Chains A and B, each alone.
Chain A
């Protein structure tokens, strides 16, 4: 029978992770990705008998802390906790994403850390955090390290997490006071839907309304969600009200969408363009929640 390990301290968790000795331990937080995999395998008589490392009782993994230096989001923080956290407008995109992952049942259980480690190309947590220049904090008995999120989520179901590591927290550097953000998700139904494409944008302006920082990330249009640095560079210095009109198809050339049951690649590429323009237009109008 598979083991179920529920450490109550991070040190204990790291020791267990390190001791696994070749037998893969499956980290478990909200269970919203682990159990569906188990269900799928079991339908085809592929037993899921991996040892589970339940991280739900490790205090260091929980909670949101925000101060002048930046923001720390424990990897075990649920979507609902993020949606309810007191955070500045730069985090609106992340909060909007939090309310669009699955239903409330999933939002109450699923964690931001799990979303990053699961590394779905359509993970709704990734674009907002990419746009916030987030870093991940990884711990092991060997010590701690930080990686930019883009260097952590490497591809479809692929991350830089070492077998003995645990994702502890997400760190977001202090954002300009003027920064506002938006997340737009495109799916084929109203709730419980995987993104066909998603866009997160964080834009900061100076006193004259000119853009000082623009961070734009697109999800579900490449093996891992990614930023659009050439577009971002083009937007800096421009009046916020002009941004949408500046976005051209070639600005999204870095994307590499695929055909699947949800949409065609060509559609995804065009939809991403539309969503980026809309995100920027809506940010210029006023920060508001608009579903794509």
Chain B
């Protein structure tokens, strides 16, 4: 044991201790208080921001460092305990052979997505490899078990760690320069290119929203309502501030220069920046305190001049729809925010002619995004403009919201998206941006804010809880004839993306199948829950649970194999959707199912053999299918991209699409590179800066590869066309860029363009290509008829699992996922999306349930760990989409949708009981099993 050489008395005088220790091999001295967290000291006093803070409670492992060669959560370590110790952080990894190898392996395997957990994963892995350079799987899982990742599904991380030994003696391998071939033959598209933005993620040098701010920035913290609904009164705030040195100002609704509200839809700006008199959910922001860091952190709620009067609250859709329920927002007296409808054929007639009918009621709860990076950023006023550096998925929407809140023209607001440590839909809404903007604007000083994990969870949007009644019918041969559903979606206290969910669900609720008679109805209901917003799938995962479950019923009733039933009914190119849209091309569900067949047969046989043992563990296999419309529902969602050459020979990609970890920066560059005819490693980037890039639209709806990909392709093609025009060259010419010279070679004829000699724009640009794409759609009419999406992704997944009949616990054995992605621009990144989506689907199915006031941290709210994701086999089906860049469609959301239905189907196959509520927690499944077995 390391014995501290100071007596209690010297240590106790003022709480500081002049602590010295070794950080990454160098001696450092601190004057921080001894009880300061090591994580905070590393990040703030020592500037080593590679160590991330995800929860400050040891629940996520994001702050993992090594202390005397053993991994520890730096957030739980008082610096008083590290005097004389050796601390290794991600910043010190590259100087070790193992660390450098791990960093290379992470890049080569695509093990980093958003990158926020990457430093800690590397540290935990280093701890393991130092003891065993070639660890087994179980040992690896045990070593990484303390670090949560929300993006990757862990599989590529485990692969990278176990493969790192191959990189021990190799020098850093430069990114392979992939040169396109002549004649339109793609070289970059289709390659497993490592992330172009990956190097800073594995080095720990990526600067997220919490990692940088102007030196003179003040700190902001929001005071949030602890009740689901309350009236409140504020006392003398000026006196409160005056009595507290270091506190600068308290901001309330009265201080907002423009409109004190925000919201996704122009007609639904219903959420206040600072609430007025009454709050509608636990976590609602009432006011913000701004001042020096210590002064803001030391505040006690007991001293604040604020008095709460808790009011009765409506919990759940049923309460808000009940007779006599009070009205939450005056403009919607019945609490029904919006309705969605898709109706086609004659659904009653359809049911009347059916041979088999299945119906059921299904329930899902709030689901938390649980990105490992809590919201963070800063705002800075520059004259009559304001700049905001913060995490976001939608910089242009943030710009519009902030301009409205400040009462400024749009061009006076500049959004600089920070690298985004996970989003999944949760960072589509503004969070801290309006408050920061108000404070920085009024004070004319930079103001920063970092949400704690708890603040992030209580304040941010969630997946909509759903209550779905559904009925499905087929004929004697198993052909679907009718489907009807009515779903209530708890949209919480504010609208957020509620209308999007209510609109998307009826279009998708029938699944990727031909059904002639359909009536799908949805409602978004205001309640006193947290605002439900966008979460990977916009309600489609909830609807798919109901629909796929009923189709298993129908398959059984019709005496058909579950996969065969789906294949018989699979929608194909040439078929018409319930929205009346004829699918022209790229409808690859049938191909996905055909590809799964051998796996299905093998896994069914395996389950049958296992179950023949008649033990108390039963094996089951399930299948789930999905379709997903790429882009906004029946409305314009354009993207514009720009590619330029400057007079000094720089090739720049001006890309406004935010890469939240999914890889758009890499994928869009691959598309642009091939369209232009220059290798990816020649590109410089300007990313997502509303002052410099065009609007690429938000990173949501699985749209960036498809929509921005087409725009990138068009922009690069326009630049290429300009080059060819200047040199009078034909389309098959081969380009090269050397210094300021562009060489254009065709059929042995070589021409040159001297960029330095061309007239330049103000920014030095001499040649440019600008391209836009807006997927062609037709708005839905009152019956939900139209062309809601230009294209759809399709998928089918199989889950194999074991159920412990006595404990109701589930162990996943394997997932096999077949996805029609049109074209995989980068198969490695596509696989990463599928892994991550499946992991979130596992969470939805088996463990995740956000309960306000009860599961507001990562201790009680469980997301899958490295031990909860089974092996995943991926089959990529490429049924090209004519509208997509090189045929590509989206994958982000499609990856998640089929997983939970497949798991529920497997539980039923294993046990004979049909869960209709998720998550299927052990005690819930146990209750179903007990009821079936007739035990008391």
CA distance A192 to B54 in the complex (A): 15
Please determine whether B923 and A46 come into contact, CB atoms closer than 8 angstroms: no
Query: In the complex, which of the residues B1, B78, B141 contacts A54, with contact meaning CB atoms closer than 8 Å?
Result: B78
Please determine whether B58 and A47 come into contact, CB atoms closer than 8 angstroms: no
B76 within 8 A of A: yes
CA distance A103 to B146 in the complex (A): 4
CA distance A6 to B127 in the complex (A): 28
Given A42-B452, A43-B454, A189-B867, A194 and B300 touching (CB < 8 A)?
no
Please determine whether A31 and B454 come into contact, CB atoms closer than 8 angstroms: no
Measured between beta carbons, the chain B residues less than 8 angstroms from A66 are: none
Secondary structure of the B contact surface, majority rule: loop
Chain B 454-490 near chain A by CB (<8 Å), digits 1 or 0: 1100000000000000000000000000000000000
Please determine whether A108 and B72 come into contact, CB atoms closer than 8 angstroms: yes
Please determine whether A40 and B75 come into contact, CB atoms closer than 8 angstroms: no
Please determine whether A5 and B58 come into contact, CB atoms closer than 8 angstroms: no
Output the nearest chain B residue to A259 by Cβ-Cβ distance: B923
Measured between beta carbons, the chain B residues less than 8 angstroms from A43 are: 452-455
CA distance A13 to B8 in the complex (A): 8
CA distance A60 to B865 in the complex (A): 37
Chain A 269-292 near chain B by CB (<8 Å), digits 1 or 0: 011001100000000000000001
Query: In the complex, which of the residues A8, A46, A193, A268 contacts B301, with contact meaning CB atoms closer than 8 Å?
Result: A46
B355 within 8 A of A: no
Please determine whether A190 and B71 come into contact, CB atoms closer than 8 angstroms: no
Measured between beta carbons, the chain A residues less than 8 angstroms from B81 are: 6, 31, 54, 56
A3 within 8 A of B: yes
Measured between beta carbons, the chain A residues less than 8 angstroms from B15 are: 1-4
Task: Report the count of interface residues on B (CB-CB < 8 A).
Answer: 83
What would 19 A/B residue contacts be, using CB atoms closer than 8 Å? Answer: A3-B12, A4-B80, A8-B7, A31-B77, A32-B76, A35-B57, A35-B75, A36-B56, A39-B57, A57-B3, A76-B1, A102-B146, A103-B61, A104-B127, A190-B145, A190-B868, A192-B59, A192-B145, A267-B927
CA distance A16 to B9 in the complex (A): 10
Please determine whether B11 and A6 come into contact, CB atoms closer than 8 angstroms: yes
Measured between beta carbons, the chain B residues less than 8 angstroms from A36 are: 56-59, 76, 859
Output the nearest chain A residue to B35 by Cβ-Cβ distance: A4
Measured between beta carbons, the chain B residues less than 8 angstroms from A45 are: 221, 223, 299-301, 304
Given A42-B452, A105-B124, A188-B847, list of 11 further CB < 8 A pairs?
A4-B35, A5-B11, A6-B80, A39-B56, A39-B75, A40-B57, A46-B300, A47-B299, A188-B862, A189-B865, A191-B146
Interface set, chain B 92-148, CB cutoff 8 A to A: 124, 127, 141-143, 145-148
Please determine whether B72 and A267 come into contact, CB atoms closer than 8 angstroms: no
Output the nearest chain A residue to B36 by Cβ-Cβ distance: A4
Measured between beta carbons, the chain B residues less than 8 angstroms from A105 are: 58, 61, 64, 71-73, 76, 124, 146
Please determine whether A189 and B862 come into contact, CB atoms closer than 8 angstroms: yes
B43 within 8 A of A: no
Chain A 153-197 near chain B by CB (<8 Å), digits 1 or 0: 000000000000000000000000000000000101111111010
Please determine whether B8 and A190 come into contact, CB atoms closer than 8 angstroms: no
Interface set, chain A 26-43, CB cutoff 8 A to B: 28, 30-32, 35-36, 39-40, 42-43
Please determine whether B926 and A62 come into contact, CB atoms closer than 8 angstroms: no
**Interface segment, one of B602-610, B772-780, B849-857:** B849-857
Chain B 297-310 near chain A by CB (<8 Å), digits 1 or 0: 11111101000000
Please determine whether A193 and B807 come into contact, CB atoms closer than 8 angstroms: no
Q: Nearest 5 A-B pairs (CB), nearest first? A: A103-B146, A190-B867, A191-B145, A267-B923, A43-B454
Interface set, chain B 346-366, CB cutoff 8 A to A: none
Query: In the complex, which of the residues B298, B455, B867, B923 contacts A47, with contact meaning CB atoms closer than 8 Å?
Result: B298
- Residues of chain A at the chain B interface (Cβ within 8 Å): 1-8, 12-13, 16, 28, 30-32, 35-36, 39-40, 42-47, 52, 54, 56-57, 59, 62-63, 76, 80, 99, 102-106, 108-109, 186, 188-194, 196, 261-264, 266-268, 270-271, 274-275, 292
Please determine whether A35 and B56 come into contact, CB atoms closer than 8 angstroms: yes
Output the nearest chain A residue to B458 by Cβ-Cβ distance: A43
CA distance A46 to B299 in the complex (A): 8
Please determine whether B454 and A4 come into contact, CB atoms closer than 8 angstroms: no
Given A40-B57, A191-B867, A6 and B6 touching (CB < 8 A)?
yes
Chain B 75-92 near chain A by CB (<8 Å), digits 1 or 0: 111101100000000000
CA distance A196 to B862 in the complex (A): 13
B740 within 8 A of A: no
Please determine whether A54 and B80 come into contact, CB atoms closer than 8 angstroms: yes
How close is B147's CB to chain A, nearest CB, in angstroms?
7
Query: In the complex, which of the residues B11, B67, B301 contacts A44, with contact meaning CB atoms closer than 8 Å?
Result: B301
CA distance A43 to B453 in the complex (A): 8
How close is B432's CB to chain A, nearest CB, in angstroms?
15
CA distance A39 to B855 in the complex (A): 15
CA distance A83 to B7 in the complex (A): 31
CA distance A35 to B297 in the complex (A): 15
Measured between beta carbons, the chain A residues less than 8 angstroms from B4 are: 6, 8, 56-57
B846 within 8 A of A: yes
Measured between beta carbons, the chain B residues less than 8 angstroms from A263 are: 921-923
Please determine whether B865 and A4 come into contact, CB atoms closer than 8 angstroms: no
Measured between beta carbons, the chain B residues less than 8 angstroms from A31 are: 76-78, 81
B860 within 8 A of A: yes
Please determine whether A8 and B862 come into contact, CB atoms closer than 8 angstroms: no
Among A8, A31, A59, A261, residue most surrounded by chain B Cβ atoms (within 10 Å) = A31
Query: In the complex, which of the residues B35, B221, B847 contacts A52, with contact meaning CB atoms closer than 8 Å?
Result: B35
Output the nearest chain A residue to B864 by Cβ-Cβ distance: A189
Please determine whether B142 and A104 come into contact, CB atoms closer than 8 angstroms: yes
B226 within 8 A of A: yes
Among A6, A46, A190, residue most surrounded by chain B Cβ atoms (within 10 Å) = A6
Query: In the complex, which of the residues B2, B57, B77, B926 contacts A267, with contact meaning CB atoms closer than 8 Å?
Result: B926
Measured between beta carbons, the chain B residues less than 8 angstroms from A1 are: 14-15, 33
How close is A100's CB to chain B, nearest CB, in angstroms?
10
How close is B246's CB to chain A, nearest CB, in angstroms?
14
CA distance A83 to B19 in the complex (A): 31
Measured between beta carbons, the chain B residues less than 8 angstroms from A186 are: 807, 809, 922
Please determine whether B865 and A47 come into contact, CB atoms closer than 8 angstroms: no
Query: In the complex, which of the residues A5, A62, A188, A275 contacts B8, with contact meaning CB atoms closer than 8 Å?
Result: A5
How close is A285's CB to chain B, nearest CB, in angstroms?
14
CA distance A291 to B14 in the complex (A): 47
B713 within 8 A of A: no
Output the nearest chain B residue to A31 by Cβ-Cβ distance: B76
CA distance A52 to B11 in the complex (A): 11
Query: In the complex, which of the residues A3, A190, A193, A264 contacts B923, with contact meaning CB atoms closer than 8 Å?
Result: A264
Query: In the complex, which of the residues B75, B78, B864, B930 contacts A28, with contact meaning CB atoms closer than 8 Å?
Result: B78
Measured between beta carbons, the chain A residues less than 8 angstroms from B61 are: 103, 105
Please determine whether B11 and A194 come into contact, CB atoms closer than 8 angstroms: no
Measured between beta carbons, the chain B residues less than 8 angstroms from A44 are: 226, 301, 454
B388 within 8 A of A: no
Measured between beta carbons, the chain A residues less than 8 angstroms from B247 are: none
Measured between beta carbons, the chain A residues less than 8 angstroms from B868 are: 189-191
Among A1, A76, A80, A192, residue most surrounded by chain B Cβ atoms (within 10 Å) = A192
Output the nearest chain A residue to B289 by Cβ-Cβ distance: A45
B808 within 8 A of A: yes
How close is B806's CB to chain A, nearest CB, in angstroms?
5
How close is B667's CB to chain A, nearest CB, in angstroms?
32
How close is B848's CB to chain A, nearest CB, in angstroms?
10
Please determine whether B71 and A104 come into contact, CB atoms closer than 8 angstroms: yes
B801 within 8 A of A: no
B714 within 8 A of A: no
How close is A166's CB to chain B, nearest CB, in angstroms?
13
Please determine whether A270 and B866 come into contact, CB atoms closer than 8 angstroms: no
CA distance A8 to B809 in the complex (A): 47
Please determine whether B57 and A47 come into contact, CB atoms closer than 8 angstroms: no
CA distance A196 to B6 in the complex (A): 42
Measured between beta carbons, the chain A residues less than 8 angstroms from B304 are: 45
Please determine whether B11 and A47 come into contact, CB atoms closer than 8 angstroms: no
Please determine whether B300 and A47 come into contact, CB atoms closer than 8 angstroms: yes
Output the nearest chain A residue to B457 by Cβ-Cβ distance: A43
Given A3-B15, A192-B146, A261 and B855 touching (CB < 8 A)?
yes
